Amino acid sequence: MQSSAAMKPITRLAFVINAGKAGAPEVARDLIALARQAGVAVVETEQYPLPAGFLRGFDACCVIGGDGTLLGVAREAVREQVPLIGVNRGRLGFLTTFTADEARVQLAALLAGQHRLAWRSVFDCSTGPGQHDLALNDVLIKDEVNSRLVRLEVVADDELVTTYTCDGLIFSTPTGSTAYNLSAGGPLLHPNAEVVAMTPICPHTLSNRSIIFRHDVRLRVFNRTGRAQLLVAVDGQRNLVTCADNPVEISVSPLKLPLIQRLDYSHFAVMRTKLNWSGGIAD
């Protein structure tokens, strides 16, 4: 879902800076100076994931780093409904779509409201009472020991899907379809597709492939591996503790992540560039 109507000007802007990325501190210094010249109130931090409440009251947050940096901010941005501006100092940059030069040139226009919002689906994942998190990209379920196979029974709503013997399962949002899901042979999904992708990792049968579920599905994954403990990784950054008596539950959250994009943003232009697509019609 995208909003292309005129946006309100940004008057309070948070900066999250991954100082470990080459050039990120210099880009941050330039953008913070430009924001202050525009009369915008600014706060900056190099800490991520962000502490609860950090973004409360801000109009937007500028994340300078790679997609991993943005993932470390996304959970708090979803909870506070604060739009993110991603400035790429990493590698691919599917989420951090502004280059440093683009950010310097376009920041004034973005602050003035000349941008659009893209609303990205997120997962609500639970492994038991008090074990709950949000995921923008994906939820990975596997054995705690990398070399062990797992048996995972998947139930969609109240219907058994199947029991996988595999290295693990990846549940991906459309946004996360270009991440671990793609590396494991899963499908590319348009960000606006209201679906959930499930991709087995190295399943022990050639007939097991990705399954696409409708967005309002309630998924439950039961550990049928015996005594093995599961690892449930959220966005590849945070782990949830599992309990033998509780399934892993995954559903699409009613909340979405707002991403700030330039007015001429093209999803497929990003795909062509980041994935090095080539080919065309010969003259």
C-alpha distances in angstroms, 250 versus 95, 197, 274? Answer: 22, 12, 29
C-beta of residue 153 within 8 angstroms of C-beta of residue 198: no
Residue whose C-alpha is closest to residue 166's, from 155, 153, 182: 153
Residues sharing a CB contact under 8 Å with residue 83, sequence separation 6 or more, in sequence order: 59, 60, 61, 77, 117, 258, 259, 260
Cβ contact 46:73 at 8 Å: no
- Among 67, 133, 138, 143, which one carries the catalytic annotation? 67
* φ, ψ for residue 32, nearest 5 deg: -65, -40
> 21-35 burial, b if ≥16 CB within 10 A, otherwise e?
beebbebbeebbebb
- Note if 67 is an active site residue: yes
Using DSSP bridges, classify how beta strands 219-223 and 248-261 pair: parallel, antiparallel or unpaired.
antiparallel
Cβ atoms of 80 and 74 within 8 Å: the answer is no
Q: Which residue has the tokens 């995972």?
A: 152
Exposed / middle / buried, residue 254 (Cβ in 10 Å: 0-12, 13-18, 19+): exposed
Measured CA distances, 135 to 24, 108, 122, 184 (Å): 25, 31, 5, 18
Supply the residues annotated as catalytic.
67
